[in-house]
Amino acid sequence: MKKINEICCIGAGYVGGPTMSVIASQCPEINVTVVDINQERIDAWNDADLNRLPIYEPGLKEIVAQSRGRNLFFSTEIDKAIDKAQMIFISVNTPTKTYGKGKGQAADLKYIELCARNIARVAKNDKIVVEKSTLPVRTAQAIKNILQNTGNEVSFEILSNPEFLAEGTAINDLLNADRVLIGGDETPSGQMAKEALSGVYEHWLPKEKILLTNVWSSELSKLVANAFLAQRVSSINSISALCEKTDANVQEVSKAIGFDSRIGPKFLQSSVGFGGSCFQKDILNLVYIARSYGLNEVANYWEQVILINDYQKQRFADNIVTSLYNTVSGKKIIFYGWAFKKDTNDTRESAAIYVADALLEEKAEIVVYDPKVSEKRIYADLDYLNTREPTENRRLLKVVKEPIEATKEAHAIAILTEWDEFKNYDWKCIFHSMLKPAFIFDGRRLLDTEKMNEIGFKYYKIGES
């Protein structure tokens, strides 16, 4: 087996940064260089103040502090890092295409292709190239074609090693992974490459948790894992709507079904809808792939998971309007939370964006507080939707750093992210500072119904009538 001691990772994002930090911390004899074209991001990774790392993840700054400058480096010198490395991880973004064929569904592979061409141009000796990004099935073949036509007699092994971490718990997920999936060619050199990568993970994970498969199964498994997880959320969310009509309680239903060992308790929490950069894009991609093979029934089946998620966000916004006597125009609505989930500063596809957009269309005046998301990010998210002029977004929506003060004379509070700190607020004091009746729309089922009713709130909790 080839011993690896020089790794390069292209892409210093939510996956590349934490994954490589953990590899460096667990494998002191391996030099890990994380490169990116984004100078600002790399500068933030190198910031002496660890509170300014570009990504917020519990436990990340401690791990970076351990290894940075020792065997973990962040740089924009991409060519130099590729040249030195024996193993190159590609961890760049693979967003949904916004143009051309497959627009709105297929994964945009332009960043992946640029990486492959960069590697092909620079490499002077044999390399193992690892797809860490989530990719459509059979992408490895495209990468291989690009790499094998370099003409400089270098041989490449392409592995698929999808990442299963969840933001907010990334470090724990990496250190205690349920499994690591490594797909590669079933040739002797492919097998050797798989074992070399397995050797990296074996520094801290038992060998039984490292699954070696063919490359296509590995690529497809990542899309399917996300589709199944998102499907559970959409399934319970569809039931939350029914609970609200029937006096059933979604929490009791999910507990009752989760006790069935065939179903299990995880990912059965009803909410305002899933967000994050991956679920929607990966399902859309699966839908696109199925349709491109003529499997329309399969495509339609998985598409429903997205449609229920859109419905849930819209339903939440509509309920706010209806409850506030069919108009929110000029009414002050406080948003607690903007991130797509707690313990991350990532806002990609966050439900908050879409709920805000729907309420801004109704001319609500929104005030947002999120402990980790910047004002710049919030406006960028809204502007990206292109629903109205950026000046209008800034006029109607304000971002604050003082969550309690903001509630003065507010008509309603909407909880969009399940940050723990919201639970411990002085809700009596908040009630007194709001206009009456004071509404809370709890999109995360975070607060105690009885307590909120006792204080005097008109309290709506998703999944309860």
| Interface with ligand NAD (CB under 6 A), residue from 44, 114, 241, 298 | 114
Q: Does 277 bind ligand NAD (CB under 6 A)?
A: yes
Q: Does 192 bind ligand NAD (CB under 6 A)?
A: no
State the Cα–Cα distance between residues 209 and 164, nearest whole angstrom: 13
Q: Cis bond leading into 54, ω under 30°? A: no
State the Cα–Cα distance between residues 13 and 56, nearest whole angstrom: 11
Identify the DSSP state of 388: S
Residue of 222, 281, 331, 332 marked active site: 222
Question: Minimum CB separation from ligand NAD for residue 37, in Å?
Answer: 4
- CB closer to ligand NAD out of 111 and 204: 111
Residue of 8, 115, 243, 278 marked active site: 278
State the Cα–Cα distance between residues 311 and 238, nearest whole angstrom: 9
| Interface with ligand NAD (CB under 6 A), residue from 92, 193, 305, 352 | 92
Residue of 131, 157, 163, 219 marked active site: 163
Q: Does 94 bind ligand NAD (CB under 6 A)?
A: yes
State the Cα–Cα distance between residues 94 and 117, nearest whole angstrom: 16
- DSSP three-state, residue 257: helix
Q: Which two tokens stand for residue 459?
A: 């309290």
List of long-range contacts for 213-217, beta carbons under 8 Å, 24+ apart: 213/181, 213/182, 213/183, 214/183, 214/184, 214/185, 214/186, 215/140, 215/158, 215/159, 215/160, 215/183, 215/184, 215/185, 216/137, 216/138, 216/140, 216/183, 217/183
Q: Does 37 bind ligand NAD (CB under 6 A)?
A: yes
Q: Mask 237-276, x = binds ligand NAD (CB under 6 A)?
A: ----------------------------------------
- CB closer to ligand NAD out of 348 and 444: 348
| Interface with ligand NAD (CB under 6 A), residue from 38, 46, 169, 191 | 38
Q: Which two tokens stand for residue 56?
A: 């917020």
| Interface with ligand NAD (CB under 6 A), residue from 23, 30, 36, 210 | 36
- CB closer to ligand NAD out of 162 and 463: 162
Task: Looking at residues 66 to 85 of the shown chain, list those that interact with ligand NAD (rule: CB under 6 A).
Answer: 78
Q: Tell me if 126 sits within 8 A of 156, measured CB to CB.
A: yes
State the Cα–Cα distance between residues 61 and 66, nearest whole angstrom: 9
Give the residue from 331, 332, 354 showing the smallest Cα distance to 416.
354
Contacts of 190 (CB under 8 A, 6+ apart): 157, 184
Q: Is 278 a catalytic residue?
A: yes
Q: Does 11 bind ligand NAD (CB under 6 A)?
A: yes
- Determine the size of the site formed for ligand NAD (CB under 6 A): 26
| Interface with ligand NAD (CB under 6 A), residue from 278, 413, 415, 446 | 278
Stretch binding ligand NAD (CB under 6 A), from 22-30, 43-51, 79-87, 109-117: 109-117
Binding site residues, ligand NAD, CB under 6 A:
10-16, 36-38, 41, 78, 91-94, 111, 114-115, 133-134, 163, 165, 167, 277-278
- Annotated catalytic sites, by residue? 163, 222, 278
